[in-house]
Structure 1
Amino acid sequence: MAPQYAPSLRSRLAPLLLFLQTGFIIIYAFYIQIESDVKVDGTNFSNFYPEFQDVNAMVILGFGFLCTFLVRYGFSGSGFNLLVAVMATQWAIILNGIESWYYRGKIRVDLRSLVVAEMCTASALISIGAVLGKTNPVHLVLIALLEVSGFVLNEWLLQTLLTVRPLNSIMLLHIFGAFFGLMVTWILHRKGSGQRFEKEKFDSKTGLFSMLGTVFLWMFWPSFNSVLVDNRTPVRKLGAVCSTYLALAVSAVTAAAVSVLSSPKGKLNLIHIQSCILAGGVAVGVSISVVHQPWEAMIIGFIAAILSTIGFQYLKIHMLLAFQCHDTCSSTLSTHGLPGLLGWLAHFLLQIKDCDDHTMAVQFAVFHICTLLNTIAVSLSMGIITGLLLKWNVWRPPQNKKCFDDQAFWEFPHLAVRK
């Protein structure tokens, strides 16, 4: 079967990557300029660089190892994650700098713009988890480029039409990525997905590698949530770090408890642990600008873990049977979508609680609801467009029996048949 797949990558992946990378180099040569000012929102390079590295570690190591849980898809899970991340980040830098290019003639790049680009990329990596193993790398690159385009468009709409703060609009990446991914996997639904795919399984070794990705994400999530908080107010930044850590800690404890309670044998479920302990970080990240007290973050983490664990336990099979939506990671909705919606609701309630003027409260409620509706509408629309584009047979999707199999894309010299 190997020769059948070799032309697919040779004639499609290589030209696509070379074309895109050449185009990026040309754009960067003429329109990209490194910011000469060493200050980044009042913080010098040496102070901001560790936070950039934390976000970088989450995107590359965290999401990369997290996708290695499938027995025969470890090379692809980690390798394609890196490929998609670096391509999408280059594209996000260009899209985020269009306004700067329009007014200044150049796109200014600094550490903050790199961080924002990687956060846009994170939304694409969330979506890719839903179609992991059922697509080829050409699909994944196209998904990432189109989703980053949609996410930047949504961010621009929120900030321009609804005057949403940049931090709040970017943190909606969890909701955007979850609904985009579910829509793509729904459009790309395969016959026979109701039955588990032959190679869609994991063992203790791959589970351990995947847990390593969860540990990376858990450790660096406070930086992810606080990196864009205004550095000129250290108290707010410290509050964001502490709130995220407390929410993550509570969600880890709660996820373990709910996992044991939901098990017929009263044992911990590794998949529950590695996915649902992150729910608190997702939820508090969406509401980070209005969370000021430790107990608020802890309650959000507590509810997020319960919602995520129960959703993980029951949503995948119901989504598959009711909507023909096969989510490979099973965490697109339960780890990012539902906790993201919870974070949006927490932001709504906490902001209303702190608002003394009734008129302002009503105005905020309308704008906040419009923010969610706009995000979901753009994500679903872009997901449909992307799914329909990827349904073309010209991209040569893998056959069902070759899904979740590294041998369709990677060389294994020790398995070669020697004549």
Structure 2
Amino acid sequence: MTDAATNMRLKLPITCFILEIILIILFGALVQYDHETDAKEWHNTNHSSHSDYDNDFYYRYPSFQDVHVMIFIGFGFLMTFLQRYGFSSVGFNFLIAAFALQWATLMQGFFHGMHGGKIHIGVESMINADFCTGSVLISFGALLGKTSPVQLLIMAMFEVTLFAVNEFIVLSVLEAKDAGGSMTIHTFGAYFGLVVTRVLYRPNLDKSKHRNSSVYHSDLFAMIGTLYLWMFWPSFNSAITAHGDDQHRTAMNTYYSLAACTLSSYGMSALTAHDGKLDMVHIQNAALAGGVAVGTAGEMMLTPFGSMIVGFLAGIISVLGFKYLSPILEDKLKIQDTCGVHNLHGMPGILGAIVGAIVAALATVDIYGDGLADVFPNVANGNVEASYQGVRQIISLAVTLGIALLGGLIVGFILKLPIFGAPPDTICFEDSIYWEVPGEEAAHDDQLTTVRTEEVEKLNC
């Protein structure tokens, strides 16, 4: 296919250059190192009495590395199951994440980190920006194969902004706890993406159905993403919790939740198949649902026993969603969820929020001891009852859903504008629209160009 045919020869470069130039200008005007990153401030205020190893970098950077791997390798390769969309799955994941983490630094800094008119950033800012990026990539999963890179960049710009607003309301105004982001990351990203894909509904998508499927090697690539996500999820959930027992507990709760979830996912996958064979889609996705579902309550005294129950239930819910609910959502509600984000992130995210509310409502000094002040400071100092903290958690879930649904609706209509160059229904899930492809794939592209000439020409209008 020619560059002109894709309608991206100018639109994508212009979008990338304009967005990055704006980011550079804003960073130059608004962003500076925090006191642990700035050479002058750190040495003037700390060096005389503290070791350099007291710098937050040494606590946080290993977790940041793990989260970063999840964002770029885990999410990227998890989406490579489509037989002819592997370049786009990994490549657009890379593009969106690189933009979103910069924009998230600004948006989150505006709400959380401004001092003296400047946004102060350090290693924790990098982790938080990656968290926000993860939410955008969850939404990307619902839209996979049906959108142009320009549409995805524009979606990321709006979604990051709304994410920062929702995060501020939930964590700062309502003072809810959500260490692993069951609400702020997973629930928000899933339902935002589902509404966007509903607005962008494609009535003739069945014409591309033969490409909306996997082959043997594409499912193997997707399992790479699954295993990276599975291994590093304890770091993801515990990355910004307090040092010490809180962080230790979060990692451990996630560890056991994922393990229990994996067994229930395998069991339900075989149980729901008429011939008892495992479905790779279930294993790639549902086995991760335990990490999502334990996110909110991860730092709480959920206990390993409770974590395993949560993971066990999450795996069952996720597999049932893939098997029975996804076809209903597509047939009845016209929601074309390519990656099944509702089953991996949406429903387990809601489960996690509910579990977090229940555990928060049961928090007492007898259970937490002096550690109650770390997890629930308002309960420890008597400002609120534990039961009211549980109510706050539920209100936060409702707020998250409201902002995600309304925001997705508005952004969906913006993305429908023809200027963003969405591919026609007949050539969705096809790498060669946007990428140079080698070898045998190129021969297939020549045939595709001939067959789809009329549809491709519409992109030039």
Pairs within 5 Å for 1:20-419 = 20-37=19-36, 44-99=56-111, 102-165=114-177, 167=179, 172-193=184-205, 197-231=209-243, 234-330=244-340, 332-354=341-363, 360-412=385-437, 414=439, 415=442
CA contact (8 A) 1:198 1:401 kept: no
Partner Cα separation in structure 1 for residue 170 and residue 273 of structure 2: 42
Q: Say which SS state the counterpart of residue 108 (structure 1) adopts.
A: strand
Q: Which moved more, 1:361-370 or 1:242-251?
A: 361-370
Partner Cα separation in structure 1 for residue 56 and residue 141 of structure 2: 36
C-alpha deviations, 1:274-299, integer Å up to 9, x for none?
Answer: 10000101000122132441101011
Partner Cα separation in structure 2 for residue 99 and residue 187 of structure 1: 29
Partner Cα separation in structure 2 for residue 25 and residue 81 of structure 1: 21
How far has the Cα of 1:194 moved from its partner?
6.0
RMSD: 2.3
Q: Against the structure 1 CA distance between its residues 225 and 396, is the aligned structure 2 distance closer, same or farther, given a 3 Å change threshold?
A: same
How far has the Cα of 1:366 moved from its partner?
3.2
Partner Cα separation in structure 1 for residue 127 and residue 329 of structure 2: 34
How far has the Cα of 1:161 moved from its partner?
3.0
Q: Which moved more, 1:360-369 or 1:165-174?
A: 165-174
How far has the Cα of 1:169 moved from its partner?
6.4
Q: Against the structure 1 CA distance between its residues 238 and 168, is the aligned structure 2 distance closer, same or farther, given a 3 Å change threshold?
A: closer
Structure label with greater radius of gyration: 2
Partner Cα separation in structure 2 for residue 52 and residue 343 of structure 1: 23
CA contact (8 A) 1:65 1:210 kept: yes
**Amino acid paired to 1:264:** H
CA contact (8 A) 2:158 2:411 kept: yes
Structure 2 residue 22 is matched with structure 1 residue 10: no
The count of residues paired between Structure 1 and Structure 2 equals 413
Unaligned stretches of 5+ residues in structure 1: none
How far has the Cα of 1:364 moved from its partner?
2.8
State the TM-score, normalized to the length of structure 2.
Answer: 0.85
Partner Cα separation in structure 2 for residue 106 and residue 265 of structure 1: 61
Structure 2 residue 18 is matched with structure 1 residue 19: yes
Partner Cα separation in structure 2 for residue 41 and residue 279 of structure 1: 36
Q: Say which SS state the counterpart of residue 107 (structure 1) adopts.
A: strand
Structure 1 counterpart of 2:450: none
**Amino acid paired to 1:312:** F
Structure 1 counterpart of 2:49: none
Unaligned stretches of 5+ residues in structure 2: 43-51, 366-378, 447-461
How far has the Cα of 1:238 moved from its partner?
1.1
Q: Against the structure 1 CA distance between its residues 382 and 74, is the aligned structure 2 distance closer, same or farther, given a 3 Å change threshold?
A: same
Q: Against the structure 1 CA distance between its residues 143 and 21, is the aligned structure 2 distance closer, same or farther, given a 3 Å change threshold?
A: same
Partner Cα separation in structure 1 for residue 227 and residue 61 of structure 2: 21
Q: Say which SS state the counterpart of residue 286 (structure 1) adopts.
A: coil
Partner Cα separation in structure 1 for residue 327 and residue 437 of structure 2: 34
Q: Which moved more, 1:26-35 or 1:122-131?
A: 26-35
How far has the Cα of 1:165 moved from its partner?
4.4
Q: Against the structure 1 CA distance between its residues 181 and 264, is the aligned structure 2 distance closer, same or farther, given a 3 Å change threshold?
A: same
Q: Against the structure 1 CA distance between its residues 166 and 305, is the aligned structure 2 distance closer, same or farther, given a 3 Å change threshold?
A: closer
